[in-house]
Amino acid sequence: MPAPPLDPRALDRAAELIGAASRPVVIAGLQCESPEPAGWLRAFVEALPAPLLATAQAKGLLPETHPLALGTFTGDEALLGLADLIITSGLSPEEIDPRHWPHSAPVVHLARTPHSGLPFMPMVEVLGDLSLILAELAPRLRGKTRADWDMFQLDRLKRARAG
């Protein structure tokens, strides 16, 4: 089934929320797994910069040694408690256990499919081809203030999860 055409108003609103966030976190799902969206996703998290959690089905989107790769999403990450925005990219309902979504940060949902069945109500949802969504967000985010994550704090969180 072809992806729906992108809604420019939804893209503008998503860019507004992402650009205003000081501590965004990206949760990536199975729809990001093919090479083209995976490449765009990597550029996106590095440009923000924002730490990335991948669902179990989407592991390996970033190498484990990448400083923004924080591992597999389980729902109990301390990282999400620090986030002021959660950006879901390519997430499908079968990848998230609703009991593992106690997070109160607003959500921007980027995917081929609507958020129905997912345990959150996004502030904005951009539907379509993920590569195209991320490509269209890039110029809308140009010149915006970059996220303000403490890379040492992210490293400590990553080490605590690994240990």
Alpha helices in the chain (DSSP H): 8-20, 35-47, 78-82, 130-141, 151-162
Q: Which CATH architecture fits 14-162?
A: 3-Layer(aba) Sandwich (3.40)
Confidence band of 122 (pLDDT split at 50, 70, 90): very high
Report the candidate in 151, 144, 142, 95 with the shortest Cα–Cα distance to residue 120. Answer: 95
Which pLDDT value is given to residue 134?
94
Alpha helices in 30-127 (DSSP H): 35-47, 78-82
Which pLDDT value is given to residue 51?
95
Which H, E and C letters describe 27-54, residue by residue? EECHHHCCHHHHHHHHHHHHHCCCCEEE
Instruction: Measure the CA–CA gap between 125 and 114, rounded to whole angstroms.
Output: 7
Confidence band of 143 (pLDDT split at 50, 70, 90): confident
CA distances (Å), origin 160, targets 45, 47, 75, 103, 116: 21, 25, 15, 20, 33
Give yes or no for residue 119 having a pLDDT over 70.
yes
Dihedral over alpha carbons 88, 152, 69, 43 (to 10 degrees): 70
Q: Chain centroid to CA 28: how far?
A: 5
Domain coordinates in residue numbering, the chain = 14-162
Give yes or no for residue 40 having a pLDDT over 80.
yes
Residues 73-96: pLDDT tens digits? 887 778 888 999 999 999 888 888
Which pLDDT value is given to residue 133?
95
State the average pLDDT for the chain.
89
The dihedral through the CA atoms of 54, 156, 67, 17 has a sign that is positive
